[in-house]
Structure 1
Amino acid sequence: MTLPAIEGRALSRTYGGFRALDGVDLKVARGEVRGIIGPNGAGKSTLMDVLTGRAATRGGTVLLGGRDISALAPRARQRAGLARSFQKTNVFLDLTVGEQIRLAGRCATLDNGEEVLVALGLAEIAHRPAADISYGDRRRLDLALALVGRPQVLLLDEPAAGLTVEESLAMADLLKDLARRWHVTVLLVEHDMEVVFGICDRITVLHLGRLLAEGTPAEIRSDPRVISAYLGTAA
């Protein structure tokens, strides 16, 4: 049996008296694009933090390709093949696009920087400082930096945040293409439902720190619990 690309078992996290994550199970197949949705405060970003090691669990196990990585620090999890991009772009404005990709390549076990520049349409602006490129290009640069090293699993926190409708759809098409072409497993936290339902193979819905529902986009769209808790108000 093929092992999941990433798996979380009974993941829990509390902040003071607030239970942000309450016994959540997650299992994502290799090459899958998985959406994580839910209302504000549902536990989406906390789940990302727990998977990447930025937040310690108060119970549960994280496995990457069947390997228990629960005790590893964030940097060690990254070296093991788990990458993440954040809602706010994490680029250096004073450095050129190419310089940032080359720096990332030097720190990675596999330097595929030139391939990433071409694949994300950044080669033509590689000579320009990040301060001089558009916000949409900065979002693509942020994604490119996460893809340097060819991670097994890529966690994306609202990659379409701040983009126009056209830019969001272009980003969605790019993600879907790269996931298929490079066999990268993607976990996507996103509020843009057009992006989520357009590219995700399956969707996990969180509510009040717990797993509310999981299924295909069609199943989630028609689930009355999801409509009541999230999609009805999101629409």
Structure 2
Amino acid sequence: MTALLQCRNISKSYGGVHALQKVDLKVEPGRVHGLIGPNGAGKSTFIDVVSGRTRGSGTVILGDTDVSGFAPNRRRRMGLSRSFQRTSIFPALTVRSQFELAAGWVDNDNTADLIDMFNLRGVLDVRAEEISYGQQRLVDLGLALVGTPRVLLLDEPAAGLSAAESHHLADHLLDIARRWNVAVLLVEHDMDVIFKVCDVLTVLETGKLLIEGPPESVRSDPKVIQAYFGSTA
């Protein structure tokens, strides 16, 4: 299967600190690819570089196009979308207004489908600051999916959610990847979500690729246990 997103030799330094060191990763359509690792491993930095929000080095290929030098908004128009650790919604705007604004930037307006998918029709005319945090997270995910992007980068979408909300979100992610054939790259600390939805996992440690493979293989790998817990005992 041809990867929709190919990342080659992705590197980023802050002064003398190497946040990422020549990381390779590819994500295929219809699959959820998890990116995990201890705090400070470089996961969010990787998504920032790939999305164009942070300038790094290396090559980012979307489909057949090298987008390494493209600005974030151009990458978004070409089908590379992302969410943030903190929701990027506007608290004072209604849910409806936010979807309308997002739809103005894309050619394919699929907002009606997204509103139904995430069960948001009942809060369309409510300001975002007045809905639950779980609903805010769904709005944030919905906005990232406006225009039906080919690749979706998610940075801790389950942060702050209850266990029930996290499992509900995981179901949505699987549905999105399979039904729309979207390539999903997921950074997440909730291991229940990771092992429920991911087809493959990449583990980073101090900015370097530690291991990549099927979730069950990665879970039991001694190098991963050492990286997370400091012991293989």
TM bracket (short chain)? over 0.9
In the alignment, structure 1 residue 18 sits paired with structure 2 residue 17: yes
SS state at 1:60 partner: strand
- Give the match for residue 105 of structure 2: 107
- Give the match for residue 54 of structure 1: 53
In structure 1, C-alpha distance between the alignment counterparts of 2:158 and 2:25, rounded to whole Å: 23
Deviation, 1:66, is 2.4
1:6/1:66 contact within 8 Å kept: no
Q: Which amino acid aligns with 1:24?
A: V
> Aligned in 2, Cα 1:116/1:231: closer, same or farther, shift over 3 Å?
farther
In structure 2, C-alpha distance between the alignment counterparts of 1:210 and 1:66, rounded to whole Å: 26
How is 1:158-197 mapped onto 2 (pairs within 5 angstroms)?
158-197=156-195
Q: What do residues 92-128 of structure 1 show as CA deviations (whole Å, max 9, x unaligned)? A: 1111111111111111121111111011111121121
- Give the match for residue 131 of structure 1: 129
In structure 2, C-alpha distance between the alignment counterparts of 1:118 and 1:205, rounded to whole Å: 34
> Aligned in 2, Cα 1:195/1:154: closer, same or farther, shift over 3 Å?
same
> Aligned in 2, Cα 1:231/1:189: closer, same or farther, shift over 3 Å?
farther
Deviation, 1:232, is 6.8
RMSD: 1.2
Superposed structure 1 runs of 4+ greater than 2 Å apart: none
The sequence identity of aligned pairs, in percent, is 53
In structure 1, C-alpha distance between the alignment counterparts of 2:64 and 2:3, rounded to whole Å: 7
Unaligned 5+ segments in structure 2 are none
In the alignment, structure 1 residue 79 sits paired with structure 2 residue 77: yes
In the alignment, structure 1 residue 117 sits paired with structure 2 residue 99: no
| TM-score (norm. length: structure 2) | 0.96
SS state at 2:104 partner: helix
2:29/2:177 contact within 8 Å kept: no
In structure 1, C-alpha distance between the alignment counterparts of 2:75 and 2:4, rounded to whole Å: 13
Q: What do residues 116-166 of structure 1 show as CA deviations (whole Å, max 9, x unaligned)? A: 101111112112111210000000000000000100000000000000111
Unaligned 5+ segments in structure 1 are none
2:201/2:214 contact within 8 Å kept: yes
SS state at 1:198 partner: helix
| TM-score (norm. length: structure 1) | 0.95
Q: Name which of 202, 205, 229 aligns with 2:200.
A: 202
